[in-house]
A and B are shown apart, each in its own frame.
Chain A
Amino acid sequence: MKNAEEIFDLLKKEFSDSIFSLDKDTPTEPIISVDPLLVHKISGFVRDNEELKFDSLMCLSGVDDANGSKVKDADGLESIQGGTLSVYYHLYSVSLKHKITIRTATPREEPKVESVENVWKCADWHEREAYDMYGIIFLNHPDLKRILMPYDWEAGYPLRKDYKNPEFYQGMKVPY
């Protein structure tokens, strides 16, 4: 069993500059921020390392940080430009009984994160959901398509903070 600092030091030793920070002031597990384009390598490491053995991805979620600047267009509709979208990986080691959360932030305009589908198989649908709801592109995902919304949904990604629902979908009125 390892605490958050030990896990952070271990990762720092292995990946140095790609591991950004450790946030311990959280109501849940401590959060380690990492580089979005190295997530696959880091995931493989934390799964296979003898001292970590993170064999279970409990949850993978997308988050809209909404930390960009709010811009109003000609119709007075607000949208967010710049800033980041994040992906959180909640990890648990069944054999060593320790937990950690890994976070990676990616630019909102081109949100690209490496897929961890071939590290933890369960990430497959979780990543599709994050793609469906936030538009985060998971590089090297075997089948990255919408999972909940219709395949022909063109109005964007519903859980983004600046999402606007369309008036019609296939001739059906959407607003109340």
Chain B
Amino acid sequence: MGLLDKEFSDGNIVIVKVDDLFNWARLSSIWQLGFGLACCAIEMMATSASHYDFDRFGVIPRNTPRQADAIIISGTVTLKMATRIKRLYEQIPDPKYIISMGSCSNCGGPYWEHGYHVLKGVDRVIPVDVYVPGCPPRPEALLEGLLKLQEKIRNESLRKKSA
């Protein structure tokens, strides 16, 4: 992406591929839906706070799915909540991205056998882009997950969503 910064200093014209421009814009301002489910949400909030500062990657929590680009599933997805998550996901306009944070939303976590009320992985209802392991993952791990998602968006093309 060094292309853009260099071009700015020389003149008023920037020449860039439309794919690169769109990807750059998208990956630099991933607005996430303000949405937390369990203890992972505490780590997600810590990531948003000043010490880890999610905002330096352009991640800002939005209060409605209609203004969001991404949703971080941060915690245990119960069957009751799964129906709501599906609805929230459908309300997010395209292009939309999903980070599954923590063991619970990855695969059911500690509830995998006796959790009669837990969905064993949020990918059973919505398509996940990045899985962040941990129980709960530290903010560093979530940041790593976000960088992975940015990497994924950087290699997209208008013709095909996922690289």
Contact = CB atoms under 8 A, between A and B. Distances in A.
A173 B112 CA distance: 12
B: contact size bracket: 10 to 19
A165 B119 CA distance: 12
B79 A169 contact: yes
Nearest to A158: B116
Contacts of B120: 173-176
Contacts of B116: 158, 163, 165, 174
A148 interface: yes
A: contact size bracket: 10 to 19
B124 A158 contact: no
A150 B108 contact: no
Contact of B83 (A170, A174, A175, A176): A170
Nearest to A173: B124
A172 B81 CA distance: 12
B112 A158 contact: no
A148 B81 CA distance: 11
Q: Which label, helix, strand, loop or mixed, suits the secondary structure of the B interface? A: loop
Nearest to A165: B116
Interface string A142-176: 00000011100000001000010100011011111
Interface in A95-132: none
A169 B83 CA distance: 10
A157 to B, nearest CB: 10
Given A149-B117, A158-B117, A176 B80 contact: no
A149 B80 contact: yes
B19 to A, nearest CB: 36
A164 to B, nearest CB: 9
Interface of B: 79-80, 82-83, 107-108, 112-113, 116-117, 119-120, 124-125
Interface of A: 148-150, 158, 163, 165, 169-170, 172-176
24 contacts: A148-B117, A149-B117, A150-B79, A150-B80, A150-B83, A158-B116, A158-B117, A163-B116, A165-B116, A170-B83, A172-B79, A172-B82, A172-B119, A172-B124, A172-B125, A173-B120, A173-B124, A174-B79, A174-B116, A174-B119, A175-B120, A176-B107, A176-B108, A176-B113
